Amino acid sequence: MSSEAAATRPRVLSGITATGKLHIGNYIGALSVWAREQDRFENYFFIADLHALTIPENIQPDALRERVTEIVALYVACGLDVDKSVLFLQSRVPAHASLAWIFNCVTPIGWLERMTQYKSKSDRANPSAGLLTYPSLMAADILLYQPDFVPVGDDQRQHIELTRNIAQRFNSMFGEAFSIPEPMIRTSGARIMGLDDPNVKMSKSLAESRDGHAVGLLDPPNKIRKTIMRSVTDSGTEVRGDGLGAGVENLLVLHEALTDTTREDSLAEFEGKGYGVLKKALAEVVIEHVSAIQERYNEIRADRSYLDRILAEGAEKAANIADETARNAMRLTGLL
| DSSP summary character for residue 27 | I
> Annotated catalytic residue: which of 21, 84, 119, 121?
121
Q: Which of 21, 84, 119, 201 is catalytic?
A: 201
Reported as type and span, the H/E element at residue 109 is helix 109-113
Calculated CA dihedral for residues 134, 12, 90, 304, nearest 10 degrees: 140
Whether residue 121 lies in the annotated active site: yes
Closest alpha carbon to 153 in 110, 98, 213, 201:
201
Question: What contacts 11, CB < 8 A, 6 or more positions away?
Answer: 41, 42, 43, 44, 145, 146, 147, 148, 149
DSSP state of 196: S
Per the annotation, the verdict on 223 as an active-site residue is no
84, 119, 204, 223: which is the annotated catalytic residue?
Answer: 204
Distance between CA 270 and CA 239 in Å, rounded?
6
To the query of whether residue 280 is one of the catalytic residues in this protein, the response is: no
**SS3 of residue 118 by DSSP:** helix
Distance (Å, whole) CA 326 – CA 138: 14
Active-site residue list: 121, 201, 204
